[in-house]
Amino acid sequence: MSSLVGPDEDDPRGKPAVPEHVQDAIRTLIEWAGDDPTREGLLDTPARVARAWKEYCLGYNEDPAHHLARVFEEVGGYDEIVLLKDIPFQSHCEHHMAPIIGKAAIAYLPTDRVVGISKLARVLHGYARRLQVQERLTAEVAHCIQEHLNPRGVAVVIEASHACMTARGVRTPGVSMVTSQVMGTFRKDSKSREEVLKLMGY
Ligand SMILES: [Zn+2]
């Protein structure tokens, strides 16, 4: 298998093989950027970059909704806001394939079921580990929760910085973008919306 990179000794699990044409594509990019892909320091870079991209995009291998399949119906009459905030995440913009790094706050108003709280973060990561635009990421997380937990309301706020804006283009480090998607009660009732945004810190 000369066209494939074998398992690496520094990874006990063994690293996945990277097809030669994928490595070639990355060599082409290195050349296009102005460097020499045959110099020593860059020899293993194409395989590393390829594996890194598989990891950045792990979300394509899953349906994030499956994290919401296991619910708890014994909620003891609790029907107020459930909020998970400051959830760090990383994604990549579909326009430049540049990092989007930020945090999310996800809230819902349960009816008769709740999920393990970590599942909300898993749903976020399932959608974030794809090529994204922040607006769609925000909407996808909200709709997934709405559809599978059937809560009275859902609110998702995402705040992130985009490397395509901070490291290139207008080069404005420190700028962050905020997007929100509110549904159900949070959309219809401004008091509920204010309450959830306040809990989120907005
Ligand atoms: Zn971009």
Map out the domains of the chain as residue ranges.
Answer: 1-56, 71-200
Which pair of structure tokens corresponds to residue 121? 């973060």
Query: Distance (Å, rounded) from C-alpha 181 to C-alpha 68?
Result: 19
Instruction: Tell me if 146 sits within 8 A of 183, measured CB to CB.
Output: yes
Instruction: Tell me if 188 sits within 8 A of 72, measured CB to CB.
Output: no
164 annotated to bind ligand: yes
Query: Distance (Å, rounded) from C-alpha 128 to C-alpha 135?
Result: 11
CA of 153 to the centre of ligand 1 (A): 31
The tens digit of pLDDT for each residue in 167-179 reads 888 888 889 999 9
The tens digit of pLDDT for each residue in 111-167 reads 988 999 899 999 999 999 999 999 999 999 999 999 999 999 999 999 999 999 998
Distance (Å) of CA 70 to CA 87, 137, 141, 169: 21, 23, 17, 44
CA of 98 to the centre of ligand 1 (A): 6
CA of 103 to the centre of ligand 1 (A): 17
Residue 46 CB partners (closer than 8 Å, separation 6+)? 18, 22, 23, 24, 25, 26, 27, 30, 37
pLDDT for 151 equals: 96
144 annotated to bind ligand: no
CA of 163 to the centre of ligand 1 (A): 7
Average pLDDT, the chain: 93
Element spanning 114, H or E: strand 114-115
Instruction: Tell me if 106 sits within 8 A of 75, measured CB to CB.
Output: no
Instruction: Tell me if 196 sits within 8 A of 185, measured CB to CB.
Output: no
Instruction: Tell me if 87 sits within 8 A of 42, measured CB to CB.
Output: no
CA of 106 to the centre of ligand 1 (A): 24
Instruction: Tell me if 26 sits within 8 A of 49, measured CB to CB.
Output: yes
Residue range 186-197: average pLDDT? 97
CA of 36 to the centre of ligand 1 (A): 26
Residue range 42-59: average pLDDT? 98
CA of 132 to the centre of ligand 1 (A): 9
Identify the architecture of domain 1-56 in CATH.
Orthogonal Bundle (1.10)
Report how far apart the first and last C-alpha atoms of the chain are (Å, whole number): 55
CA of 93 to the centre of ligand 1 (A): 5
Which pair of structure tokens corresponds to residue 48? 């590393």
Q: What is the DSSP letter of 69?
A: S
Question: Percentage of the chain surpassing pLDDT 70?
Answer: 94
96 annotated to bind ligand: yes
Query: Distance (Å, rounded) from C-alpha 202 to C-alpha 193?
Result: 11
CA of 125 to the centre of ligand 1 (A): 19
Q: What is the CATH number of domain 71-200?
A: 3.30.1130.10
138 closest CA partner among 127, 149, 151: 127
Q: Do domains 1-56 and 71-200 have the same CATH topology?
A: no
pTM of the model: 0.90
